[in-house]
Amino acid sequence: MCCFPSHCRSMRRTMLVMQLLRGAVEHAGSSSRCGVEPLISAVRGISSSSQQFSNFGRTHPSSCTDTDHPKVLITGGLGQLGVGLAKLLRRRFGKNNVILSDIRKPPNHVYHNGPFIFSDILDYKNLREIVVNNNISWLVHYSAVLSAVGESNVTLAKEVNITGLHNILDIATEHGLRVFVPSTIGAFGPSSPRDPTPDLCVQRPQTIYGVSKVHAELMGEYYHHRYGLDFRCLRYPGIISADSQPGGGTTDYAVQIFHAAVKTGCFECNLRSDTRLPMMYIDDCLRATLEILEAPADTLVRRTYNINAMSFTPHDLIQEIQKVLPDLKVTYNVDPVRQAIADGWPMALEDSAARRDWGWKHEYDLQELVQTMLTHITTGNQLAQAY
Ligand SMILES: NC(=O)c1ccc[n+]([C@@H]2O[C@H](COP(=O)([O-])OP(=O)(O)OC[C@H]3O[C@@H](n4cnc5c(N)ncnc54)[C@H](O)[C@@H]3O)[C@@H](O)[C@H]2O)c1
Ligand SMILES: C[C@@H](O)[C@H](N)C(=O)O
């Protein structure tokens, strides 16, 4: 359904692109450090295997050598965040040193842009073979079932988020990997302090997603203390991206509204207009991930950190988008499941420890987020129409 008269739409888009491109801001990356610490202990027995996987470093010559750079495996890499992270890590470490994996078939542009492999994190033996045969040294564990989907399929969420996590931690320990597991604002609950939420406080989430992420934080930290696993974890806010879709979470509205604003000029919001949540633009999130992965171990006072950028309500976001697209019309059809989840989540994360220990600094605030998202989506749509 469209709210703009069709004859006005293309002219509006052209004006919007020009206006946004004029205001676009460039953001630079950060410095490079890397290395892997030795580990001392394996936690599951190793059995022999006959199945062979190709070594991507050999089949696709790279400009970077394996001795200079870590060899990274990203699980659940076809979700909202994985492809962007692979792009960032490949720029830093070389295309063939970063392997994306998932249980879904990749789109052509992903398949042709670097190594991709099937990996089901519930298949321990298959995961171990991939790690061994590709000489993996860093593992970024993105596979998950997010908050809203988790409430509709608790069994799947338990399997992927808890059993899958156990496989990841055991394999990482067994093979001396550095492992990054994202946590979330969803790891807190209604009894946590909400504005701002400190790194250390009561964590009693009321979703299976949140429970599984608290479990991941605690298991990772336990493996770090008990076995020396190089476990690193960030609690991400809701992440906002232009060219990848969210995977069934509570913060999804803050991505969907941008596409609707540009395409139809109408949006139906599934959270109340005053629901304040912490949010972050994807570039900040992925840069933070690279930065904590590269941080020297002795700078990490803890292994799980909050990171914060901005907080807003649907009302705040709509007002900011309407500065560029004044005709955007928003209606509300509140989803009781998502609303109940959001009502128990932090409004802002307290992240001074990340800023102090490894130099975390966000670059995008609400105004820049809106400019950047509308620019990406509008230019992307225009390119798609041109071809
Ligand atoms: N996107 C956000 O706003 C956000 C915020 C906080 C934390 N996180 C965390 O960041 C990580 C990545 O998030 P995302 O938004 O890309 O998630 P997503 O839901 O978009 O993608 C998850 C991916 O996991 C894959 N997967 C599911 N079951 C699997 C299995 N058995 N084996 C292998 N892969 C499997 C799915 O196919 C999917 O591609 C997750 O751990 C999530 O909890 C995300
Ligand atoms: C916040 C985050 O974990 C995810 N976007 C969700 O809403 O479930």
User: Catalytic pick from 124, 142, 209, 364?
Assistant: 209
Residue 16: per-residue pLDDT: 53
Which pLDDT score is estimated for 68? 76
Tokens of 111: 């398949």
Q: Please work out whether the CB of residue 277 comes within 6 Å of at least one atom of ligand 2.
A: no
Residue stretches of the chain with pLDDT short of 50: 1-12, 14, 17-18, 21, 23-42, 46-64, 66
Q: What is the pLDDT of residues 216-259, one digit of tens each?
A: 999 999 999 999 999 999 999 999 999 999 999 999 999 999 99
Pocket test for ligand 1, best of 127, 184, 217, 292 (most atoms within 8 A of CB): 184
Q: Is the distance from CB of 53 to CB of 117 less than 8 angstroms?
A: yes
CA angle at 210 for the pair 270 and 301, rounded to the nearest 5°: 125
The pLDDT of residue 380: 85
Confidence (pLDDT) at 72: 98
Ligand 1 pocket: which residues have CB below 6 Å?
A: 75-76, 78-82, 102-104, 119-122, 142-144, 146, 160, 164, 182, 184, 236, 238-239, 246-247, 249, 251
Q: State the DSSP H helix or E strand holding residue 259, giving kind and residue range, or none if neither.
A: helix 253-263
Q: Which atom of ligand 2 is nearest to the CA of 146?
A: 8
pLDDT score at 67: 56
Residue 208's pLDDT is 98
Q: What are phi and psi of 20, to 5 degrees?
A: -70, -40
Cβ neighbours of residue 85 under 8 Å, at least 6 residues apart?
Answer: 74, 77, 140, 142, 286, 289, 290
What is the pLDDT, as a whole number, of residue 7?
41
| Residue in 78, 81, 256, 292 to alter for ligand 1 test, most ligand atoms within 8 A of Cβ | 81
Contact criterion met (CB below 8 Å) for 212 and 165: yes
pTM, two decimals, is 0.88
Q: Is 253 a catalytic residue?
A: no
Count of CB atoms situated within 10 Å of the CB of 290: 21
ipTM given for this complex:
0.99
